[in-house]
Structure 1
Amino acid sequence: MPWKSLIRRQKPLTVSLVSFLLMLVIVVIIGLVGGRHIIGYLQEQLVQHGMDHNEEVIAGIRPVLEKSLQDAVRPGIVIGEFQDFIEHAEPFGVRLFLVDVARRQVIADSRRGQQPPYDVKELVQTPVRRFDGSTINRVTDWEGTAWRKTSRGAIELLTLHSLDMPAGLEEQWALGVSSDLSELLVLMDELHLHLDGVLLLTYGLIGLLGFLVLRWVGRRYESGLEQQVAARTRELEKAHEKLLEQARLATIGQTASVLAHEMRNPLASIKLALSGVSRSDCLEERERQRVSLVLGEVDRLENMLNETLDYVRPVIPDEQPLKLDELLDQVLALEAPLLEEAGLTVDRRRCEDCPPIRLDRRKMLQVLLNLMKNAREAEPEDGLVRVSLGREADHLVLEVANRGAMLTEEIRRHAFDFFYTTKARGTGLGLGLVKRVVEAHGGRVSLAETGDGLIMVKLTLPLSRANEE
């Protein structure tokens, strides 16, 4: 739908802000409607209370008037006594009056300013209405409670009830009470105003708090999604790298197979023939050097071919665990003549508490030989090669350090890449094989500079429970 696509195109903050404003508008409307309902209910109760109060006043005075009339007290005396009685009624918030319905005159009134008797039309000078909204045309034509708005804008409740007159009297009287609700209604209006203000402020704060909470939750949710996306991206990148590595290995394997098939026999024939020629006494020294140079190149081709084949062969740990120190002993024994020839000293640190682990012995032997070869070739004459094996928690850590050229950023990034080399006659397979074999054993390999200016290759191999038992 169009609105869904519109939402998707917006920024999360914009969506949150619009949602907050919509929520705030809805909450404010509900608050105002609810406040008005409450005020309306209170006003209804206030009017009902005024009506009940008027009825109670009439119920208290009416029996006294009717008893006086029943006792044959003359009407004029009753009116006079009643007028004296109601003189002090107005300060109590009510107006008492007595109406002669037959003559349509007000014959007693507690309000000062008009002297009874006077025409009933002067009692109320604004329209009187019933609570159903209809207008009362003649003031004496209603029984019960009505209301009117005075000329000053005040709301006045009017209650009128006929008296039971004794037989024989021509008079027909009605007792009335009026009460002014203006002050109470003004108070209700002020209460309404304050209530609306408090509700708006409260709902605004609630809405703002809700927006902040929703924004916080949304950020946490977005952060979680971002982390999940980043984790999935890393997994995909690793899977992609693994596929590329497998593709490279497959390509290398196919190439190595073809090379091994096509080149081994010719190289062997060339080497055999040249070896025979080099032993001939007919060669001059210059020719003998040239033959030796060609034999060296043949050996280099064979070594490259063997390294390539080693690189693509799968890593399969042996069933029998072995100690890495013992494998190091073999490597150092093989390298001893070459190290001695180069005038290099080996600083060896053994690990007595390192348990045996399951390794691909042949592959790991090649890894250690490659590391020692690189260290031997990089270390200046009469230098020092450090070989240290130790244990860190549930890992074995092997460090091979030597003095060499400073590491550049390019070397740090590509040192373990296949076919990458800084040597003039290197193949770029040595450290690549180291990385592949170590990672196939579940370990890690890194290249760094130590504080004392040495270049160090660090191998970390995990210890399994089976290895330690």
Structure 2
Amino acid sequence: MINKNDILKARILMVDDESTNIFVLEAMLKQARYTSVTSTTDSREAASLYQTLRPDLVLLDLRMPHMDGFEVIEQIKQIEADSYAPILVLTAEADPAIRLKALQIGARDFLSKPLDLSEVLCRIRNILEVRLLNKNLEIQKDSIEQRVFERTADLKQANQQLKREIAERKWSEEELQKVNQQLLHAEKLSALGQLSASIAHEFNNPLMGIRNTLEQVLQGTKLENSLVELVELSINESNRVMNLARQLKDFYRPSSGTPCLLNLHDAIDDMLMLKKNDFHKENIQLAKEYADCLPDVNVVEDQFKQVILNLLQNANEACPKGGTLSVRTRALDSTVEVEIEDTGQGVPQENMKKLFDPFFTTKGEVKGTGLGLSVSYGIIKRHGGDIRVRSTEGKGSQFIVTLPINTNGQELT
């Protein structure tokens, strides 16, 4: 059990650009007898305060000038890479996608503004109880590991054979831990896929009803030409959003790991559709140069799409001031090539050899995990292909994916 006094002494950090919100929350916490509360209205100070105070709870607003709440969460995750970092998001956002994003990148819970102060206190207490339990478990874990180490050292001195057995046991435990971590990661991805499919389904049904109604209006009502154009435009936009929902559902469907003959142009177009709004916002012009009669290729569909999406995202982030993104395909004797070229910032020569290394990124701590290109490289290699890159700093980059036309059809996981 967690002692009530331990909860009241927990360190709390509040980050909100509205001083009125800070004042109300501080008064509420003081009345509830919390004794260690720090606040800031400048989100740029959040990471340094977190580094110094190591709070047990962060109350975080999402929409702030200078640096939004998503960036603050990413910075905190870098500081607490292997620990429980409890973040309670306080937001007026009604869009479920915004809330989902906050939970996905590391927030533990969220509350909607305007706030119910009694509910705020309840959520704070619940999260702090989990936080303090987690800290106690870490302390116990460290103590147990220390005792095991000391006893193991004694046994090593007594018997060399036992030393080998303990080493083998330790290796087995580490392997088991890796498997458990992989299973946990797979469960999280599966849950995310189910949630995405559910959201896509909920969007699809009302959109289908809207589209059918508009089609009935168009077919059964005499309208002026200008109104006919508006109704037809609405029908087309409904179809586009329904198609986007279908692509989201397909993209998050768990991988079968089984290759199938895939039309690469269709797969690339699906990923371009997902990035269409991002390109428009960043003023990135798209140019497609597809080869005529490109043969289908035997690949795992969602894995190939993941590679294309990673490369498109990489090109997107390389063009913060806009530019041109070109997608080309070519059919050679025994291979096909997909080329994605941007007119962005390019890659410094000294970084070229490290581009496909795990965790290497030039995007800084907030944006980049350094895994996108590494994962893409591994997927293409498992398909018997290759990824090459050419880049000139200040002018842009080319990523060329090569895949064999004929493969042996083995499962790729």
TM over 0.5: same fold? no
TM-score when normalising by structure 1: 0.34
State which structure, 1 or 2, has the greater radius of gyration over its C-alpha atoms: 1
